[in-house]
Structure 1
Amino acid sequence: MKTSTLIKHVSAIAMAIAAASSSAGIYVSGSTVYENSSPFVMRGVNVAHAWYADKTSSSLSDISKTGANTVRVVLATGKLWSKTSESQVASIISQAKANKLIAVLEVHDTTGYGEQTAATLNEAVDYWISIKNSLIGQEDYVVINIGNEPFGNGQSASTWTNGHKNAISRLRAAGFKHALMVDAANWGQDWQNIMRDNAASVLASDPQKNVMFSVHMYQVYNNASIINSYMSSFKSNGLALVVGEFAADHFGENVDEGSIMSYAKQYNYGYIGWSWAGNGSGLTSLDIAQNFNPSTLSSWGNTLINSANGIKATSKKATIFGGGSSSSAASGGTCNWYGTNYPICVNTSSGWGWENNKSCIARSTCSSQ
């Protein structure tokens, strides 16, 4: 190795040790989500694993074929539904990766806490810690959505804010380096703007500054004006936003799904449609694939997948799977090594390498930062 190259490597490592720790894998910078150092805009579908575990494998395969790049998967702690075991979670991650899907994993038992029997955010964190071995090392492929719609209506802004700050603190202390997703108050719809007004404070509390925010857009978002106002507020504040759930209607009330997808495209924000199949009485119109059959899309499913701003037209697979436009002299992608982009080595399995007349870093070493 050339002396100048060695000095460069030592200097980079020293800077890495001295610098504030950057998150491995998927990470947030300003209003943009990145993976493999490339901007990543989620285009995906929700899958109700906790209730239809026998359908998960086929659902992931079918969803991938739509062109989706993300799947959000319903897990359960055992509080309201049978606990999703660590082995099941490991299998879900493995299958998502095989289907070239980034997995957003969420605890559903927290839904509507304060208005109905539900798990607390602390109980959700307990669950994440209990399945930690299936998650550590998967930072390139997994986003942890701490708790689904973890507060109903009538909760104070401080309850939502402090609850998430505490949850993030506990997860980081437990060694999780993953990108974290935080759901809005008011059953996810944030009609009181609690998340909108306090998101920056929650992000600032994370030592890794690696938090994205998720709003669930149902009947509160029934016109273009309110959708644009909400998304533009996050954009102007430099915060990463994802529409973690939405559909064409909700309990018979209209949702402006066309404007949601249009503005998501305009602001480069992700969206994840609810849900592939299996919705109960009064919500069957939310099924994207009728009876889990990918050949029989509902009207909503056809809009989500095939419309001008839908999944097929706007989704790009994550570069970690070989999609997108990330490239380097070593053809292995790029690594954001504490603020500096380096090529990812093709032939070097760990540490630093020298390939195609350039310094490169092994993918495993990049992830370990």
Structure 2
Amino acid sequence: MALLAGLAVVLGLLLPGPFGATAAQAQPSDVRAPGLHISDGRLLEGNGNDFVMRGVNHAHTWYPGETQSLADIKALGANTVRVVLSNGHRWTKNSPADVAAVVADCKANRLICVLEVHDTTGYGEEAAAGTLDQAADYWIGLREVLAGEEDHVVINIGNEPWGNTDPSGWTAPTTDAVKKLRTAGFEHTIMVDAPNWGQDWQGVMRANARAVYDADPTGNLIFSIHMYSVFDTAQEITDYLNAFVDAGLPLLIGEFGGPADQWGDPDEDTMMAAAQQLGLGYLAWSWSGNTDPVLDLAIGFDPSRLSSWGERIFHGANGIAETSREATVYGGDPGDTQPPTAPGAPTASAVTADSATLGWPAATDDVGVTGYDVVSVGGGSETKVAASSSTTATVTGLTAGTAYTFAVYARDAAGNRSPRSATVTVTTDEGGTPGAGCAVGYRVVNEWPGGFQGEIAVRNTGVAAISGWTLVFRFADGQRVANMWGGTPTQDGGTVSVTPASYTSDIAAGGSVTVGFTATKGGANSSPTAFTLDGSPCATA
């Protein structure tokens, strides 16, 4: 996805177009790949087992310090992570040592690692974007790091490598980049993104997929469609996915979003259901740190604070917890159908007005327990509220003076789920008088001569939800807000007042929203030191 949501898409009609001159089934390659590879339109592991990606995107190049993220993503059940890298054209280059560390982290957490260069995003329309040829050169510079990792790594040459300007220009450079990597000796599965900012709403990838696939001498190539606002009806989604499946051409949903935005409302339920029915992979955008907080799966990189989008992806119907299966290269047994035993009854400790820590006796399994899911039980239904790789978990976001009933499930590497444990009922503390407390985090995301991009995270530290708000702060060095998403600014001198967008208006107790903006600046760019929310001072985080 583009760093700024406003660059993401120009709406249009999805074209039905054919796959070139023939719809014949793609044939398995005559050249056997040493690890992950394509055969009969399917992504297989080196041992021939089918592998279906179930995972998320992680913005490593912008947040290199968030090294716990892959472990957190794995603990929630993902089998794959798509990692954002930079070749140095637009953002700070990820060095060979850094990429080697990412791959090692993926392997340590038993994840398949899809590596992508993000600098190509929107080429032809985005002036700052790099070319696929430059991205290919970056991969060639990583040859020693990636050699021998064919079982664990997929190379996604460049993210959304063409905008909406003349998208037919996508085909030749895509083919050339694939050939360049093969000539350099790469045997990995290569992933290629569609034009139209990844959404292919003019059908260029769909029409030319056969020619691009046939140009790869190994046949070890998979296509990636990014499904955002263009894909807002079930018919558009199923038509597109089925067209590739019917032609025997490998495809996955390499990015997708569910929350509505100013361009439309993507139909994520159909995307996930169709992917599961057709056995296609999907990778949701994005784990955390997105400049548009609607698409953050985890708030502030905290796996215990999933957004509604995160809950949908990890715990909803056809979600990751329900459908993900670990790659067998890590020792997972696809034939394992025996679930773990039920965990022991949980007990509660450290109960506060808005949280409770639970602990329980471990479950057992013939292969091994990989994690636990904590659910809130009531009204004949249950809701997953926490995940843990150990026998303890802290549930947050609770309401003061309220009784909750919790239970625990265990799961194994094959995705089998245990019977539910016995329940425990916990009543949270009464807490203080309901009211708004707040903490604000401010940071500069990117900076250039004369301007910068900033981000403000507003957290509700009170015990009651906030509905509608006004945030006020002051710039000391003459900075002026030029554009904002997640809120509407007014500025008088250095004082800036921000009111929320519709999707950031409500802040749950313990929850947060994020506002992003671009601004002009002079030589200095000091950060604001004080913030008020509805007239009350906020702590700085």
**Which of 32, 38, 46 is equivalent to 2:42?**
32
Whichever residue aligns with residue 85 of structure 1, its letter is S
Check whether the contact 2:110–2:326 (CA below 8 A) recurs between aligned residues: yes
Distance in 2, matches of 1:244 and 1:324, equals 26
Match in the other structure for 1:308: 317
Match in the other structure for 2:199: 189
Check whether the contact 1:250–1:286 (CA below 8 A) recurs between aligned residues: no
Check whether the contact 2:164–2:195 (CA below 8 A) recurs between aligned residues: yes
Match in the other structure for 2:117: 107
Match in the other structure for 1:51: 62
**Which of 221, 233, 249 is equivalent to 2:231?**
221
Check whether the contact 1:26–1:141 (CA below 8 A) recurs between aligned residues: yes
CA deviation vs aligned residue, 1:139-182 (integer Å, no higher than 9, x gap): 0000000000000002242x211111100111011110000000
After TM superposition, list the pairs within 5 Å mapping 1:53-132 onto structure 2: 53-55=64-66, 57-116=67-126, 117-132=128-143
The structure with the greater share of residues assigned to strand is 2
After TM superposition, list the pairs within 5 Å mapping 1:125-274 onto structure 2: 125-157=136-168, 159-249=169-259, 251-252=261-262, 253-274=264-285
> Shift in Å at residue 130 of structure 1?
1.0
Q: 1:258 is paired with a residue of what secondary structure?
A: helix
Whichever residue aligns with residue 51 of structure 1, its letter is W
Decide whether aligned partners of structure 1 residues 268 and 89 sit closer, same or farther in structure 2, where only a CA change above 3 A counts: same
CA deviation vs aligned residue, 1:264-315 (integer Å, no higher than 9, x gap): 00110000000000011xx211000011110010000000000120000000
Distance in 2, matches of 1:301 and 1:254, equals 17
> Shift in Å at residue 325 of structure 1?
1.7
Q: 1:276 is paired with a residue of what secondary structure?
A: coil
Whichever residue aligns with residue 35 of structure 1, its letter is E
- How many residue pairs match? The answer is 305
After TM superposition, list the pairs within 5 Å mapping 1:307-346 onto structure 2: 307-325=316-334
Q: 1:39 is paired with a residue of what secondary structure?
A: coil
Normalized against structure 2, the TM-score is what?
A: 0.55
Higher Cα Rg, which structure: 2
CA deviation vs aligned residue, 1:314-343 (integer Å, no higher than 9, x gap): 00000000114279xxxxxxxxxxxxxxxx
Normalized against structure 1, the TM-score is what?
A: 0.81
Structure 1 gap segments, 5+ residues each: 1-18, 328-369
Distance in 2, matches of 1:138 and 1:178, equals 8
Q: Which has the higher contact order (CA 8 A, sep 6+)?
A: 1
Check whether the contact 2:167–2:196 (CA below 8 A) recurs between aligned residues: no
Q: 2:55 is paired with a residue of what secondary structure?
A: strand
Q: 1:143 is paired with a residue of what secondary structure?
A: strand
Distance in 2, matches of 1:153 and 1:249, equals 22
> Shift in Å at residue 250 of structure 1?
5.6
Distance in 1, matches of 2:296 and 2:278, equals 26
Distance in 2, matches of 1:156 and 1:75, equals 24
The percent identity for this pair of structures is 49
